[in-house]
Amino acid sequence: MKKATSLLLAALVAASAFTTVASADAKKGQKYYLKKLKVCKKDGLKTGANFAAKNDRDTWATLKEDGELVDAWKELCPSGASKIGKMKQKDIDDLYDFCWQYASDGDVPSCG
């Protein structure tokens, strides 16, 4: 009985670790924007909040579903197009979560 309980507990811990790793994160997306896309200031986007608020949540979701998200970001920030084009999938997911959370009809970020 003790062995079965230990195995069950180990399986639960492993499953929760995989779930956490696989999920995107709006805070990481905000950090990515602040670190890699400051160049967007040249395009009139003073902060990441301005970048995210360019669309509402439905529009961001539609762009992602249609596979046009990266192209939309390049249009919003032509100065950062080369950096946006080199993004890893995890960074794309994180930045999407940031854009969705802080969209024009979403939350207001505390900074940046």
Domain extents in the chain: 24-101
pLDDT tens digits, residue range 14-50?
655 444 444 679 999 999 999 999 999 999 999 999 9
d(CA 15, CA 4): 16
Comparing C-alpha atoms, which of 27, 42, 25, 24 is closest to residue 83?
42
pLDDT tens digits, residue range 93-108?
999 999 999 999 988 7
Q: Predicted confidence band at 78 (pLDDT cuts at 50, 70, 90)?
A: very high
From residue 13, how far is each of 4, 21, 110 by CA, in Å? 14, 13, 32
CA 7 to chain centre: 35
- Site of tokens 């032509």: 78
From residue 38, how far is each of 6, 13, 29, 89, 91 by CA, in Å? 48, 38, 13, 20, 15
What mean pLDDT do residues 57-77 have?
A: 97
Comparing C-alpha atoms, which of 38, 65, 52, 62 is closest to residue 97?
52
pLDDT of residue 112: 47
Q: Which amino acid is at 6?
A: S
First vs last C-alpha separation in the chain: 53
